[in-house]
Structure 1
């Protein structure tokens, strides 16, 4: 699962980089530039969600470890 999350993060970064090249800062909210801006935002959201998933998995592993020790 860990490798899969890293692959998805790499794809999201690739999406961000690709769409950042399509941005026209003079007309940011018009045409293809608007689609690129939304896609960049979607990539950032995907990375944020994957980081939250990783943190929750670490917490879950620590919680299971504490239950086994009887604490």
Structure 2
């Protein structure tokens, strides 16, 4: 995996967050499809965090090799 792949994953996750926010019923966020949308938002945030950790670890690895 390289930097470009990580950025593509982050962009896809941001798109999924935007889509899932439109699916949330803010009056009843824990009922029906809103629950699924909230789970999707949390999963996308986890994917973004993992990709940021991955990119940081690659930077550290490159510095250690130099």
TM-score range, shorter chain: over 0.9
Distance in 1 between residues matched to 2:55 and 2:4, nearest whole Å: 11
Greater relative contact order, per chain length (Cα 8 Å cut-off, separation 6+): 2
TM-score between the two structures when normalised by the length of structure 1: 0.90
> Which consecutive aligned stretches of 4+ in structure 1 deviate over 2 angstroms post-superposition?
none
Q: Deviations over 1:22-58 (max 9, x none)?
A: 0111110000000000000000000000000000000
How many matched pairs? 65
Q: Which runs of 5+ in 1 are unaligned?
A: 66-71
TM-score between the two structures when normalised by the length of structure 2: 0.96
Match in the other structure for 2:18: 17
RMSD (Å) for aligned C-alpha atoms: 0.4
